[in-house]
Amino acid sequence: MENIARKLAAEDDQLSDEERQLKKANSRLPGITLLQLIYQQKAYEGDAKDHEFSGTSMREH
């Protein structure tokens, strides 16, 4: 990833012909948003992660 990021930020004179063509072809791609989701366990959830069908968990969903 680091190598790719450096090449994307590089000036065109530092790229090979093939890299320059790829950069131009991909310059019209839409922006990408990265999102990291962190699960926070509820107080009533136990250690079992398989199937929990308690009344509380069913009402929450």
pLDDT of 6-58, one tens digit each? 767 777 778 888 888 888 887 777 777 788 888 887 777 777 666 667 777 77
- Could you give the CA distance from residue 19 to residue 17 in angstroms, rounded to a whole number? 6
Gap between the Cα atoms of 31 and 34, Å rounded: 10
Residue type, 2: E
Rg (CA), the chain: 23
As a whole number of angstroms, the distance between CA 18 and CA 30 comes to 21
- Its pTM surpasses 0.85: no
